[in-house]
Structure 1
Amino acid sequence: MATVPPSVESEKVDYLNLPCPIPYEEIHREALMSLKPELFEGLRFDFTKGLNQRFSLSHSVLMGPTELPTQSADVVKIPAAHYEFGTNFLDPQMMLIGRVMTDGRVNARVKCDLSENLSLKANGQLTGEPHMSHGMVNFDYKGKDYRTQFQLGNGALLGASYIQSVSPHLSLGGEVFWAGQHRKSGIGYAARYNTDKMVAAGQVASTGMVALSYVQKISEKVSLASDFMYNYMSRDVTASFGYDYILRQNNARLKTQFRLKTDYHLFPVYCMDRLGLCLLVQISVAVLRSCILIYHSSLHQDSEYQILCRLRGKIDSNGCAAAFLEERLNMGLNFILSAEVDHKKKDYKFGFGLTVGE
């Protein structure tokens, strides 16, 4: 008599103990890590000197051409050089970062954990140019299976977002924003689905913006990423495909791990061997929303491996190809190569840099 195999019961989902989702503004973070490296042109040198475990000083020098805005399609560049002095205070519950640049800009950023679930983030920039100074305050509340944020900025800029886990792998969210100075408002929706091998995210806003991204983890060292951007108002469409390849890594377990963080910001950050990545997304005619991703250059997200060499590259539908190489030569010494080729504009960029200090 044939035996009937026992039925395999499907895994039950405990909807009362769903994981807490990532913040609304970070739903595309894995794709941004691969597709939006901090490309630069010319020579860059960053030096960080730690005075103690919490306080450090940083010096940054960038020498290279600067593009000038023109009415024609031709690219016009002029030689330029910039120096930046910074101070950094890093504490488990507070982070203070300040920057002073030779062009007269002064930047400051604060992150403070008011409680176990509530954190405060603030940043500001002072410039000598009229109407270019700005500031923003962000309150982030982390619930058991949800996150909510409230933003307040100059120019009567108000925003709020909420994201909720609806399953162990799926989270849904929405946002509203109001720019009182320009009398512009909008609403947006987002969805994110993630597993151990892939991450898919989608975002749509009433301003006409549609953003889709997908990341596939091929192996422990290789990941492929793609994104799609569409603006209904201007009919602009851009698609890109990229890769993230870890050439060499150290299998030693690290005692300290840094998580990916995000904040509203408008300038790059170089501190304690961290690299900054700035992304500007237009949410209205005159309002730009800035999201900066900060990560430790020697750590792969959610990994216990120390990255010694990492290569990232992409190509988009506009004919622009780019590559970014980070090589750890020694403890406290990193070498960086950056290259970008825009065939449509006939614009070619190459840069190399050194990062000294831990």
Structure 2
Amino acid sequence: MATMVPPIPTTEDHNKVDEKVDYFNLPCPIPFEELHREAMMSLKPDLFEGMRFDFTKMLNQKFCLNHSVMMGPTEIPSQSAETIKIPTANYDFGATFIDHPRLLLLGRVMTDGRVNARVKYDVSENLTFKANAQLTNEPHMSHGMFNFDYKGKDYRTQFQLGNGALLGASYIQSVTRHLSLGGEVFWAGQHRKSGVGYAARYNTDKWVATGQVASTGMVLLSYVQKVSEKVSLASDVMCNYLSRDVTASFGYDYILRQCRLRGKIDSNGCVGAYLEERLNMGLNFILSAELDHRKKDYKFGFGLTVGE
């Protein structure tokens, strides 16, 4: 009888050994609120209607001024099926102070009376404090939010405090090199509502899959395939098992040498595209389009962005 020769180890066998999980050396996951960030880049571009002009002036390395002009129609609530729009024009003035890498101060004033403010301060290497506020003349529309983010070696946690007795907390933990699991809980005292949510995220160099479910009825699934370094395809399914509403979307993100093109289409018959063309150093041209065939609502916009 011939002697049985043991198989020669191959490269695949070595890779299987190398893929053994080191639970004491796991990567830190992304924040819970950014679970779907790759999908949102393609599926949620900053679409607008009309004309937009943004100008940023750097005064020094830490301080800059921002000017923004927006002219276009604004939708107003209506009981009819048709969308009613009125022409509007707004001017926004803002200032930004960045003391890299620990402090960020941002303020913005609009001609309609709104004032926005944002603060981000790194208290330590692991602890970050964030604050967002909006003041407006409309009753019960002003709000503020305070966040405390703690970044551990292989986990992240966040505590939120907002007006209207809003309390929230989230936690996400890396389970393996590619898989992370998390959960969140919130309480809105003013509206007497509470909720609990769970999430899972699996990411590799080529694709990212995320799932999220909440007791409010929301279920969100997203998937992003990185075709190459410059091309990404994304899809998501959002549903509410209480109201039986379901929406599916498909999008793409294509980065060329001088421009970036993003677009999406969803199951409601809405198609959108967003193009950023770099004309020169510090000068970008923007095109935006959104076609809602079900509502017969068509939006087109163009703009210029000056400054870095």
Q: For residues 140-184 of structure 1, give each alpha carbon's deviation from its aligned partner in whole angstroms, at most 9, with x where no partner exists.
A: 000000000000000000000000000000000000000000110
Q: Please state if 1:226 is matched with 2:239.
A: no
Equivalent position of 2:38 in the other structure: 30
Deviation at 1:13, TM superposition (A): 1.5
TM-score by length of 2: 0.95
Please give the secondary structure, in 2, of the residue aligned with 1:34: helix
Equivalent position of 2:93 in the other structure: 85
Deviation at 1:247, TM superposition (A): 2.0
State the Cα RMSD in Å: 1.0
Equivalent position of 1:136 in the other structure: 145
Look up the equivalent residue of 1:347 and give its one-letter code. D
Gaps of 5+ in 1: 249-307
Higher alpha-carbon Rg: 2
Query: Aligned partners of 1:28, 1:192: CA distance in 2, in Å?
Result: 9
Query: Aligned partners of 1:21, 1:47: CA distance in 2, in Å?
Result: 35
Q: Please state if 1:57 is matched with 2:65.
A: yes
Query: Aligned partners of 1:319, 1:164: CA distance in 2, in Å?
Result: 37
2:208 maps to which of 199, 206, 229? 199
Please give the secondary structure, in 1, of the residue aligned with 2:256: strand
Equivalent position of 1:262 in the other structure: none
Equivalent position of 1:4 in the other structure: 7
Equivalent position of 1:16 in the other structure: 24
- Identity across matched positions, percent: 80
Deviation at 1:3, TM superposition (A): 5.7
Gaps of 5+ in 2: none
Deviation at 1:107, TM superposition (A): 0.6
Equivalent position of 1:334 in the other structure: 284
Please give the secondary structure, in 2, of the residue aligned with 1:344: coil
TM-score by length of 1: 0.82
Query: Aligned partners of 1:151, 1:80: CA distance in 2, in Å?
Result: 35
Q: Please state if 1:174 is matched with 2:183.
A: yes
Look up the equivalent residue of 2:76 and give its one-letter code. L
Q: For residues 242-288 of structure 1, give each alpha carbon's deviation from its aligned partner in whole angstroms, at most 9, with x where no partner exists.
A: 1111122xxxxxxxxxxxxxxxxxxxxxxxxxxxxxxxxxxxxxxxx
Equivalent position of 2:116 in the other structure: 107
Deviation at 1:4, TM superposition (A): 2.4
Equivalent position of 1:235 in the other structure: 244
Query: Aligned partners of 2:177, 2:80: CA distance in 1, in Å?
Result: 50
1:151 maps to which of 156, 160, 180? 160
Query: Aligned partners of 2:266, 2:217: CA distance in 1, in Å?
Result: 21
Look up the equivalent residue of 2:114 and give its one-letter code. R
Please give the secondary structure, in 2, of the residue aligned with 1:187: strand
Please give the secondary structure, in 2, of the residue aligned with 1:37: coil
Please give the secondary structure, in 2, of the residue aligned with 1:4: coil
Query: Aligned partners of 2:163, 2:47: CA distance in 1, in Å?
Result: 29
Deviation at 1:235, TM superposition (A): 1.3
